Each structure stands twice: as structure tokens, then as C-alpha cells.
Amino acid sequence: MKKMSIADISLKGKRILVRVDFNVPLDKECKITDDRRIKETLPTIKKIMDDGGRAILCSHLGRPKGKPVLEMSLKPAATRLGELLSKKVGFAPDCVGPEAVQMVHALKDGEILLLENLRFHPEEEKNDPAFAAQLAKLGEVYVNDAFGSAHRAHASTEGVTKFIKTSAAGFLMEKELKYLGGALHDPKRPFVAILGGAKISGKIDVIQNLMDKVDAILIGGGMMFTFFKAMNKKIGKSLLEEDKIDLARQILNNANAKGLKLILPVDCVVADDVSETAHSSVVSIDDIPDNMKGLDVGPETITLFQNELEPARMVIWNGPMGVFEVEKFARGTYAVADILARMTSKGATTIVGGGDSAAAVSRRGLDNKLTHISTGGGASLEFLEGKILPGVAALTDSPN
């Protein structure tokens, strides 16, 4: 069911409690190394400012395990947000309590306050009703713009909606639901899924949910070797999930029975070690040496995938093709990113399902060359698995 949007609400003079996802990476000096998640929330924050609302932002950062951890403070995020908006952003030293309440009620129309890390309180992840009620008292309207946390039923994503009458989706949340939901429920065809990453276990439900929706699935990454083992191929020292071999065989049989193209690599890059200095070579998947491990897809596979992808009108990609963190084994992942960028320029809809794939696209400098790059790693996966996200379900249904 369609959810209420921030665009449907009168914001002027109201306190708007906004759940954002400012769970950004920090270096040892607590400086932000990737501000994409902050930038993605700017349309929602600017909407509140421009309409004369008072924005009270809340987020988690890292895993402080229910207690204050200086290195996980959101203060750097407040500073960065202020720089991006060219406007002062207030920062509350806690997300609840007398000082937070005082700072919230001192806000004027068009002003912004960021609250300290929600997870400094154990009640946040426990979805404690009393804690959720405290948060709810800070706002008159609730807006969730944190798709990356929507798969968690926490106090700030689900519990708070029980205490605020109007709970709406922010613009980023709407964008995520539009593209990921569109792919699942009304895809352009041909529709192709590219799935990679280390393990089948993390993608089982995605594969099974997509099997009835896509025209082809391309498999890469470490998970391909469990499929090869299920086909009785030798995989050397490559990554293997021994307990998932039967499942891989079942997936192959199901694809065959459905007439679905499930395309596996035909060659791969093997090496004796996961390092830039490792001895590596390209071999057929039928000729992986016993003492080597497969760490990327090979050039013939890239051509095979390209030929399958180019006629597609919609592509969804989740998971790298190899150990892309090591430049020597990044070629396959970067090639997929390049192919999708070219397809996008010709009118295809290309969607990257967050996580490592999004990081690879960013490293390749193609952030603005694809249709949509999801900000939600786990949330994107669960959405693609067909699961209902608590943070979305809790929002007010749209009357339209």
C-alpha cells in the first residue's frame, strides 16, 4: 500500500522528527570518508527548511552497544551537514532527556537540530516503548528518510510511529521504494539480475524471490564456486560453502525447470594469495589449479555478461564479481559497473542494491552514471527478498 509522503504534509511551524541514516564511515581522526548518505537526505531536509518547519534529525552510527562511545558521536555529521547546507546545524549531546527537549523547543522555523547517536541507549535497538515515547515527544510529525535502517524494528524506525499521529516517508525513502519496488512489481523487460558477493547464504532468498521476476540471473563473486562444486567441478582452494552445495544444486535445477537463464562464469582469475603481489592467471572454470583460489571473473565472462546485459531495459545488481577491494581482482566488478553506466546512457534503468556494489561504483567514479544506487545494504537485500520492512510498514497509509 502507498505510504504518506512528506510532500503531502503541511510543515510550517511544526516540529518534524526525521529519522535519517547518517551511519557514515569515519577515519581514525573521526573525519567522514564518504558523505553520500548525508547528501541523499538533503532534499527532505531542505523541504522542511523551505516550508518553515523545524527539523529534528535522529540517527545511529556504528555499534556502540547501548553506551556512549566518543568515536561514534554524530557531531562530525552535524558539521558536514552544515557545510552542505551552508547553514548552522545545532547538535544535541543526547537524543532524549531535558537538554534535548530544551534545544528542540528553542528551534525557530527553518532551523535544524541533529540529536546524538540513538544507539548510545540500549532501548533504541530493543524498541523500548518508553524510549520511543520520549523520542516522539520531540516532534509533532514523524518522517522516515532512513531506508538503510527500515529493515529494523527499532524505537526510532517503528516504535515511535505508535506515539505520533502522522508518519510519512521522506524523499529518499520514496526514491528507494520507487526503484526497488518498481523492479520487483513492474519491471521493464528484458529484466536481468546480477548477483555476486562471497556467499550464497547471504543471497538465497534474493535468488529465489527474483527467479519468478527476472528474465536472466548472472552469478559472480565467491558464491559461484559453490555452484561449480554442485556441478562436480574442481574449484581448487576457492571459497566454498560446503553446507550449501545441495541448495546450489537445487537452485540450478529450479532455474532449468522454469526455463530461466541462470548464467555462471566461464573463466576466472586465480591466484595463490589475496594480495596485489600475488601470482595470478586467467583460467577456464574447468581448469582451476588445486593450489589456487578463484578471486574474480575472467575476460570471457565479462564479454558473456555484456552480451546478456546490453539488450536489457532494467538491471538490478547486488554483490561484487570478485575481491574488488584488491585492485588486482577488481576488473570484473568495475567492468560490470562500466557496462551498466553505458546502458544507462542509452535509456536502461540500472539499480545497484547498496553495500559493496555501491562502494565499487563509487570507487569507479560512476555514482551519477547509474539510475539509482541504494543507500540500504541489509534493507535493500531484505526488500529484494520480498520481505516487509518494519520501518516502511509502520508509516501512515496514503489516503490517495
Note the pLDDT tens digit of each residue in 68-88: 999 999 999 999 999 999 999
- Residues 197, 203: contact at Cβ < 8 Å? yes
Q: Which of 3, 37, 54, 244 is catalytic?
A: 37
| 37 in active site | yes
- Dist. CA 210–CA 212, nearest whole Å: 5
Q: Give the CATH class of 6-174.
A: alpha beta
- What is the pLDDT at residue 24? 92
Three-state DSSP at 36 gives helix
Mean pLDDT of all residues in 200-208: 88
- Dist. CA 384–CA 185, nearest whole Å: 11
Q: Indicate the CATH number of 187-384 among 3.20.10.10, 1.10.287.130, 3.40.50.1260, 3.30.365.10.
A: 3.40.50.1260
Interacting residues of 346 by C-beta distance below 8 A, sequence separation 6+: none
Note the pLDDT tens digit of each residue in 285-321: 999 999 999 999 999 999 999 999 999 999 999 999 9
Q: Which of 354, 355, 376, 377 is catalytic?
A: 355
Per cent of the chain over pLDDT 90 is 88
Annotated domain spans of the chain: 6-174, 187-384
- What is the pLDDT at residue 322? 97
- What is the pLDDT at residue 177? 92
Q: Which of 199, 237, 249, 342 is catalytic?
A: 199
| pLDDT beyond 90 at 376 | no
Whether the model pTM is above 0.85: yes
| 378 in active site | yes
Round the average pLDDT of the chain to a whole number and report it: 95
- What is the pLDDT at residue 271? 97
Backbone angles phi and psi of 138, in degrees to 5: -75, -20
* Burial class of residue 261 in the structure, from the number of CB atoms within 10 Å of its CB (0-12 exposed, 13-18 middle, 19+ buried): middle
- Dist. CA 261–CA 255, nearest whole Å: 7
- Dist. CA 208–CA 199, nearest whole Å: 15
| pLDDT beyond 80 at 176 | yes
Note the pLDDT tens digit of each residue in 234-247: 999 999 999 999 99
Note the residue count of the chain: 400
Same fold, 6-174 and 187-384: yes
Note the pLDDT tens digit of each residue in 322-351: 999 999 999 999 999 999 999 999 999 999
Q: Which of 62, 82, 182, 378 is catalytic?
A: 378
- What is the pLDDT at residue 1? 59
C-alpha cell at 361: 561504483
| pLDDT beyond 80 at 101 | yes
- What is the pLDDT at residue 107? 98
Per cent of the chain over pLDDT 70 is 100
- What is the pLDDT at residue 188? 94
- Dist. CA 47–CA 131, nearest whole Å: 28
- End-to-end Cα distance, the chain: 10
Q: Strands across the sheet with 267-271, in order?
A: 280-284, 267-271, 293-297
